[in-house]
Amino acid sequence: MERGLPLRISRRNLLRSGLAFSASSLAGRTSWVRAWARVDALLAGEPSAAALPAVAPRERLLFDLAWKFKFGNGNDPGRDLGFGVNQGDFAKTGDFPFAKVGYNDSDWRVLNLPHDWAVELPFVWDDELKSHGYKPLGRRYPLTSVGWYRREFDIPASDAGRRIVVEFNGAFRDVLIFVNGCFIGRNNNGYAPFHFELTDFLNYGGKNCITARVDASFGDGWFYEGAGIYRHVWLTKTDTLHLGPWESTVRPTLSGDSAALSLATVVENHGKEPENATVSWEIFDPSGKSVATAQAPAQEIDADGSSAFAGSANVNNPALWSVDAPDLYSAVVTVRSGGKTRDAERINFGVRTARFDAENGFFLNGKSLKIQGTCNHQDHAGVGAAVPDRLQWFRLAVLREMGCNAVRTSHNMPTPEWVDACDRMGMMMMCETRQMSSSPEGLAQLETMVKRYRNSPSIIIWSIGNEEGQLQSRMAEQGAKIAATMVEKCHELDPTRVVSAAVNGDNKQGVSDALDIVGFNYNLKLPDPFHEANPTRPVFGSETSSAISTRGEYTTDPLRNTVNAYNSVVPWGETAEEWWTFYGTREWEAGGFAWTGFDYRGEPTPYGWPSISSQFGIVDTCGFPKDTFYYYKAWWGKEPMLHLFPHWNFEGREGDEIPVWVYSNLDEIELLVNGKSQGRQKVPHLGHVEWKVRYEPGAIEAHGYTAGKLALTEKRETTGPAVAIRLTADRTEIDADGEDLAMLKVESLDQMGRPVPTASDLIVFRVSGEGALIGVGNGDPNCQESDKEPRRSLFNGLAQVMVQSTKHAGQIQISAASRGEPGLTPANLVLTTKEVTPRPAVS
């Protein structure tokens, strides 16, 4: 949980985070409006501001705005601000000119964080860059692999005597931090947060300067990872007597109609004298009502020392956190000494039970529940790895709409905003560390992840890694020891959750020996014999499927690098129907995580250049659903569902046989072609129905029946050529806080107002007023157009534009026009930005 942030779940805060939809949102379907029902449920019993007191005197300031950026050079110090021109750079403290106030940075670019410079780079045909999305990063690309960030800022004289820390949620990858000419420290991984105390180096009552050199020459993974300070930065100010970072825990134990809370924290004393301190806790329920208190006995804390404090409390008739009702409690932890409040923070938590059973699968709050999960990387169209908070909620809502109830953070520690969104939206999580190693670095990353997120009710599994083939085979003996050490560390830090790993093998040796629950990646022949031989070990699918498809494409064409939407799969994988029929029908299987929810940059399987992103996703890089999305919606969702495909625009293929499929959870489906029935078919459990139809323009229509009665219909018509553009937004009112975001869908329409599913028009955008375009995309895995320029081609009828607000209330005007003759009728859209109080930020 973010420390010091309010629990308050208000409509404004939800909108800022992004769980909001209009009737004309992403898919253009009424199903998206139902997402508002989840918002209304979350808002029921909304706490008042007075019910949730502030947690002063701690200040946590957003440190994202108005940085300056400039490329360095990985080889030539003359083009790297002179850094490394000789071996004397670190000889004396305070000698770095680029980190001093007044340094000439007039030719540096002004930008806000989070920032991913990799997404701004051109694509380069170099097969060594294939898995990372063909972006010119690495030691062979020194001109684009190093970036510098500078920020001058004020520290008031009143802060003298306080402890001041800069916190980075994540930066990619090797970072050097300088403040006021002094070297402060370094960080050498791309996903774990890091922080440095600045207290002694600051100029109180005057200007200060922080500079970061970020080197993305090395990577952590084999997928697109971005480059730069791609997560939030914070400046935290506390008393010298303060709560330790990520040390406060709340561990609920359910017993009958009450929950016993085990409360703990650590208080650190960075003062020069011993301090006598007390710690108290106040517990607030989901409505903001105070429901319990606790206090720990006073302790004396030595100068430059720390002490652990513990307490307990009971909550009667607790509201349980679940995927359908993600009720969150909060604990305000307060440190007092000398009759004064010296520090406080608010910790969000949930009351719930999660249990894996070797014979009966997974249970949440004592009720059997299949894990209907997806694996996901962290990038999105238009913005790369620098995903705004609102976009985290948008992505999660897309997955929720298809019935997904769990995500795996493949293959790294997630950003706090993703975890927070899962907590608030009822999405379970398999939380995975990047490096499977019991080295000091590996254990430090693991410890940071577990400590930071162990209060989050969404997390049900800690994962110590992914597909470490060496540790499963040739180095199995070492693998067993490494895994045992990592599992022991997880249990030490959090005894309430199980530990696993994603294993691509038979799980008979190596890292698997130490795991609490056993994860299988692919190969459906392995889990059954393993379960028979190990009947007491719970099993789940840690990574499954790897089905591939290109949105809106219905033939596989290696010349165009496209994959058909029907049943394509890589050699090691399974179709959606195959893997879910396996995991969904075995009572002892807990469920599993499909690879992947979203398409992602890099790993352009099954092709190479010019493909620059994967085709594994159930939705594309923008979040536009592929047809398989509706298979999951039919069998993971709770409502009647019918989806007919393909579209019916196959000009030039008259007389060709076209496969027509329907995904549905209804009893029977009847297909009509130009009004003529092609017969009814019963829908097999966890399957689909299909016909072969000779193409002729007109319409195909599916009628779905339940108990013999017509329940749902869906039609696909042959459209005319595109004549106009349509813009729709997920919301037409956003917050004027400099962070909020509107997601725009771009389509072309025929003369009858129907979306043209094959349109590829190049659309040019203009954004004015109180907002800015921050990214564009279209979900085409082969499109190498810029993600940042105000233009994008439609891909199979769709494109996406992301518009972010300024801090000034008013209006944002967006226009869209086509290139070429004859042009399409342009579209215009106006968004309103409303006045709000932005998050506290560094000036």
Question: Residues with catalytic annotation?
Answer: 467, 543
* Stretch (H or E) spanning 38: helix 35-43
- Tokens 């293959």 correspond to 411
Q: Is the peptide bond before 610 cis (omega within 30 degrees of 0)?
A: yes
Contact predicate 725/816, CB 8 Å? yes
Mapped onto helix, strand or coil, the DSSP state of residue 521 is strand
- Tokens 């050199």 correspond to 213
Phi-psi region of 207 (alpha: psi -120 to 50; beta: other; left: phi over 0): beta
Q: Who's near 584: CB < 8 A, 6+ residues apart?
A: 370, 591, 635, 686
* C-alpha neighbours within 13 Å on the C-beta side of residue 490: 30
Please, where are the H alpha helices in 625-745? 628-636
Cα 746-751-753 angle, rounded to 5 deg: 50
Q: Who's near 399: CB < 8 A, 6+ residues apart?
A: 374, 376, 407, 427, 597
DSSP character for 523? Answer: -
Give Cα separations from 704 to 8, 34, 641 (angstroms).
43, 21, 9
CA distance 544 to 523: 8
Contact predicate 71/245, CB 8 Å? no
Contact predicate 727/748, CB 8 Å? no
CA distance 804 to 286: 30
Contact predicate 206/231, CB 8 Å? no
| Bridge partners, 124 (sequence order) | none
- List the beta strands (DSSP E) in 484-622: 498-503, 518-521, 539-545, 589-595
Q: Who's near 444: CB < 8 A, 6+ residues apart?
A: 192
